[in-house]
Amino acid sequence: MKKVYVVTEGEYSDYHILAVFSSRKLAQEYIEAVRNCCWDDVRIEEYELDRPPERWLGTVVHMDREGNVVWHVVVVIDDDYLPGFQGYSQEGNLIWLVEGTDLKRATKIVSEKLAAIVQAGAWGDDQKTIKLFEGEASSDE
């Protein structure tokens, strides 16, 4: 996927885009040039260009240790809510976000994650679960 690098500044109603670049290197050069003279709170935000429709939505699955789906919901995927491990609920259920809206597919994927978590002895431990899946592609393919 092609990405764009958006240089932004400000917060809330003062938030605005300063420039958009095709590479992180160019965005960083821009920041270095403007940081001292104009803005000090500039940052780079990375966005996928032309994200395909099948990646716009995802299914959040809450699964208990026995592999039962106790709750699910379809959500919009964005840079703050990416596919993968989301944590454990207060009830102790595994929470996983899978790309797409097919609950059967999402359940199968989360069931496989659950088996790996239980086998590794990571159930209920956020840090162990995160470490178990480090470096794994977020697409869950």
- Asked if the model's pLDDT at residue 137 lies above 70, the reply is no
Average pLDDT over residues 13-30: 93
The string of pLDDT tens digits covering residues 66-125 is: 999 999 999 999 877 889 999 999 999 999 999 999 999 999 999 999 999 999 999 999
First to last CA, the chain: 16
User: CA-to-CA distance for 21 and 78, rounded, in angstroms?
Assistant: 19
Which of 140, 136, 117 has its CA nearest to residue 127? Answer: 117
Higher pLDDT, 36 or 5: 5
**Single-letter residue type at 81:** Y
Cβ–Cβ under 8 Å, residues 138 and 83? yes
